[in-house]
Structure 1
């Protein structure tokens, strides 16, 4: 088990995981023209399982599946599947940078959902940050660069944006569920149950969307699972090395990777609305993070 509070190790792992997740998204976008996004979801989960099993074998920890909170894992897998489905669908119709920017709405919805689910009181500072973040979403949605999605009809792009924001809602619910599960479950157990259950869920839907991939497409789908699995492990190790609040800012580097990859590979130069909106959303997320760290410090002093 890595030592906690190793900030350098945690930061490097977070940067690596963020880069790999962006690469995975680019591969998904590339293969989605011929393979249904639900089929991609299945391969993403199924091909990441060997990575999870290898970790269990390395640590000789075959009790990772042992849990007393199976219903919690099931609900967490349902919300995770919905979040992933929204994310993968949005990748099929939106430029990579736009989709990435809209996924940053998750902290905004975590703040909102913490009120009914956790009974938290949200002050004027965090409310202001939430409003700023939603302002960023509106800039992306309504700006002049919003409806230039590689020849896609405006209606399809609008639906893609709505789905990308919905992904933020489901991801926020997943985050809150993981917080609850983490009180009694290890990160490895949560990730392993996630992979198993999400594979099972997408397997049920697979016969309705199946198209036989070509050899190249199959190789890319294999890569999606392996890259996603390694990135998930790196993310888990990062959170085991340093505090989540300290690592938050490093996750925003994905916008840099998505802009670069989208520009070089897909010739999607982001419009001003995407860039300005991303800055507003990131700023709101960082301010929410700052307020959470300040509140945690005040609680420790009490």
Structure 2
């Protein structure tokens, strides 16, 4: 274990994923979301395969005992990705990022519902706190549904992100089931593969022929997506999830900077306040999970025969 290196890899993955989101936003909605998912997934595959080859784990990374599980995870994850990409054309980047933080909160709820995980009062309270923060972020958009065309579009974008967060949380539930029997490398590879195939379903709904600049932007986004996934997965080899997970929220700072300096998007105080609440709730859940993990480790150690 090398926690500092693991944290560095995690932060690098956050930077790379934010660059990917910025590239997708730069296309300004000129390419349908399903087609964007196709580029994002297809061009991530060579990066992931090269990574597996370098680690000498290509055969292991392609082996699966639960292909149907990967399909279900792919359906949920691809839907979440497509909804998030569609929302980038309608909402400021910091707002999309902040609402997306609802996903790990909802994962706690769905894990209790579908996996039978125990949820104590502390996690219930922090999830409720986080969802209040999400509602604060959403409130200006939802209250302006009947005002004008622009407001209607932004309200629709907000609902796209929130729905995407729901599907992202469901995808994480499937991942939790998959990791009990599948290698992480297989989960990473087959998600890109299934997302590429599933995105083709949207082909009859109006794909376009992008110009050279847009095509290059989408290809770059896909390559960055692959690099980000490799960095993210590698970070968990060097540090426990509870150590690196809080650094996911560095994406909020990056989103604010990229939104302001590149897309001229100034966040409102409402968005900042709601984001602060959501981030605080997420960090509290991670902290609590770490404390429980340490407690369980101490209990196992005390039960181990000495001598």
1-structure distance, mates of 2:174, 2:270: 33
Alignment of 1:70 onto 2:67: yes
Alignment of 1:222 onto 2:225: no
What's the counterpart of residue 262 of structure 2?
Answer: 265
Alignment of 1:116 onto 2:108: no
Change (3 A) 1:62 1:120: closer
TM-score, structure 2 normalization: 0.92
**135, 158, 162: which is aligned to 1:161?**
158
What's the counterpart of residue 249 of structure 2?
Answer: 252
- Structure 2 residues without counterparts, runs of 5 or longer: 300-307
What's the counterpart of residue 34 of structure 1?
Answer: 30
Aligned residues: 296
Change (3 A) 1:146 1:13: farther
What CA RMSD, in Å, does the superposition of the two structures yield over aligned residues? 1.9
Give 1:44 deviation, angstroms.
0.4
| 3-state SS, counterpart of residue 29 of structure 2 | coil
| 3-state SS, counterpart of residue 217 of structure 1 | helix
Deviations 1:73-114 (A, max 9, x none): 111111111111121111111100000001111121011112
Give 1:249 deviation, angstroms.
1.1
Change (3 A) 1:9 1:152: farther
Q: Is the 8 A contact 1:41 1:85 kept in 2?
A: yes
**282, 288, 292: which is aligned to 1:291?**
288
| 3-state SS, counterpart of residue 267 of structure 1 | coil
Q: How does 1:1-302 map to 2 (within 5 A)?
A: 5-63=1-59, 64-143=61-140, 153-302=150-299
Give 1:56 deviation, angstroms.
2.5
2-structure distance, mates of 1:256, 1:166: 23
Moved more, 201-210 or 89-98: 201-210
Moved more, 52-61 or 105-114: 52-61
2-structure distance, mates of 1:13, 1:213: 33
Q: Is the 8 A contact 1:102 1:137 kept in 2?
A: yes
2-structure distance, mates of 1:145, 1:269: 19
Change (3 A) 1:100 1:152: farther
TM-score, structure 1 normalization: 0.93
| 3-state SS, counterpart of residue 89 of structure 2 | helix
